[in-house]
Amino acid sequence: MKKILVTGGCGYIGVHTLVDLIENGFDVVSIDNNSRSHASILHGVERITGKRVKNYPVDLCNFTDTQAVFQENPHISGIIHFAAYKAVGESVEQPLMYFDNNLNALINILRCAEEFQVPHFVFSSSCTVYGNPDHVPVTEETPMKPAESPYGYTKQMGEEIIRHLVKTSPLKTVLLRYFNPVGAHPSALIGEMPLGKPANLVPAITQTAAGILPEMKVFGQDYPTRDGSCVRDYIHVSDIAHAHTLALHYLMDGKNETSCDVFNLGSGNGFTVLEVIQMFEKVSKSKLNYTIGPRRAGDVIAIYANNEKAKNVLGWECRYSLEDMMRTAWDWEQKLQKDLPGYVDPMLN
Ligand code: WQD
């Protein structure tokens, strides 16, 4: 079996990708220092797949420790690099922490890929690289606007670092630009474990519905959209995960057109915040306690994907609807609260 090294394997998208890789015949190993995740989530992977995944609790910013993982795992066929800080608001407050962590981790893992002659590399990028687009839907050719946050800037720089590296390196790479990953595995055995008060919309909704948060705020209803709230492209995390398996096959089968191919991973549908809330209320058969608050700095008005390239080139299809996303997110939240009553991770104040 081909062995894939997944950095950030205990994270939200990482853990769902481990499941998809195992189910598609890959052998996997994870590097995750659990600074923003819980290694216990891997028990869920074992219950779903029957496979125990080894995680190396290593900080990728420590090159020697990262190198040691490769020495212990020869003949790695591919790397999927998720490990990064990803809280937009936090990145505005602590830019140097984001530049230090996200860029040094990427540089170290790329140095190891070169030293240990790993042939394939998949990079976790984000629709944030587009900034506030002039037109939607965005394609992979839509020009990047200035990033709205240091987090988004680390994704733009990450892409550029890889683009420059492959000019002289034999490494074959794919950049996957996620839109808004939401939901959880249908088994409710793995899902998102937000740290502290959730910044993202869907965990804020489910924690409010679970009574963890007293209420949820909609950040602005005065935007030039159909109901005044922002438009985003929500995509089920399991659909995102499967795209990584397809990207590896694309590289391993030598189908890549360049050494650095880019794909949008979005559903191609734009939904407003209020429409997401309405869908959640339908699925949960409950009324969500929310109020309309002021706009949030850094929010783009509307963005959603043209996903034709991933469909046509990778053979990727979105299997989950917005209703599925809300249902699996709610199932997971209820499971989390049953297993860990009052779960709001204290790992972050
Ligand atoms: C979505 C919409 C908010 C919370 C960011 C990153 C992106 C990815 C996902 C990492 C916005 C509104 C939110 C709340 C609200 N991150 N909202 N009340 O900002 O689109 O994307 O997270 O991979 O790269 O840029 O996601 O879920 O924070 O916000 O009204 O309590 O929900 O204003 O319009 P975002 P989000």
For the segment 115-153, what is each residue's pLDDT rounded down to a tens digit?
999 999 999 999 999 988 999 999 999 999 988 889 999
> Which ligand 1 atom sits nearest the alpha carbon of residue 127?
24
Residue 271 DSSP label? E
Ligand 1 close to Cβ of residue 204 (< 6 A): yes
The yes-or-no verdict on residue 349 having pLDDT over 60 is no
Nearest CA to ligand 1 atom 32: 201
Are the C-beta atoms of residues 102 and 154 closer than 8 Å to each other?
yes
Q: What one-letter code names the amino acid at 116?
A: F
Q: Give me the pLDDT at residue 314, please.
A: 98
More confident residue, 176 or 297: 176
Written out in words, the top-level CATH class of the domain with range 3-348 is alpha beta
The whole-number average pLDDT for the span 318-327 is 98
Tell me what pLDDT residue 19 has. Answer: 98
User: pLDDT at residue 37 above 90?
Assistant: yes
Q: How far apart are CA 57 and CA 255, in angstroms?
A: 34
Q: Is 284 in the pocket of ligand 1 (CB under 6 A)?
A: no
CA atoms of 2 and 5, how far apart (whole Å): 10
Distance 183 CA to ligand 1 centre (A): 14
The lowest-confidence range among 99-103, 166-170, 253-257, 342-346 is 342-346
Which of 279, 296, 300, 325 most suits a substitution to test ligand 1, by most atoms within 8 Å of the C-beta? 296
Locate the ligand 1 atom nearest the alpha carbon of residue 148 and give its number: 25
* Count of C-beta atoms within a 10 Å radius of residue 93: 10
**Which of 12, 151, 178, 250 is flagged as catalytic?**
151
**Terminal-residue alpha carbon distance, the chain:** 42
In percent, the amount of the chain with pLDDT more than 70 equals 97
Question: Per-residue pLDDT averaged across 271-279, rounded?
Answer: 98
Q: Average pLDDT of 253-280?
A: 97
**pLDDT value of position 348:** 37
Beta-ladder partners of 7? 31, 81
Give the distance (Å) from ligand 1 centre to CA of residue 266: 14
pTM, 2 dp: 0.96
The tokens describing 22, both together, are 């195992």
Q: What is the pLDDT of residue 342?
A: 61
**Test site for ligand 1: of 17, 88, 155, most ligand atoms within 8 A of the Cβ:** 88
Residue-level pLDDT at 164? 98
Averaged pLDDT for residues 308-327: 98
Has residue 246 got a pLDDT over 50?
Answer: yes
Question: Annotated catalytic, 151?
Answer: yes
Q: What pLDDT is recorded for position 341?
A: 65
Contact (CB, 8 A) for 237 and 183? yes
Once rounded to an integer, what is the mean pLDDT over residues 279-292?
A: 98
Q: Residue 344: pLDDT band by 50, 70, 90 thresholds? A: low
Return the domain boundaries, the chain: 3-348
Residue 219 alpha carbon, nearest atom of ligand 1: 30
| pLDDT tens digit sequence for 71-99 | 999 999 999 999 999 988 889 999 999 99
With H, G, I as helix, E, B as strand and everything else as coil, classify residue 251: helix
Task: Determine the length of the chain.
Answer: 349
Q: What is the distance in A from the centroid of ligand 1 to the CA of 200?
A: 5
Residue 347 clears pLDDT 70, i.e. is over it? no
Ligand 1 center from residue 201 Cα (angstroms): 6
| 208 Cβ below 6 A of ligand 1 | no
Evaluate if residue 8 carries a pLDDT over 80: yes
By most ligand atoms within 8 Å of CB, the mutation choice from 201, 234, 276 for ligand 1 is 201
Ligand 1 atom nearest to CA at 273 = 32
Residue nearest to atom 12 of ligand 1 (CA): 201
- β-bridge pairing 234-236 and 290-293: unpaired
Say what angle helices 201-209 and 273-284 make with each other, to 10 degrees: 40
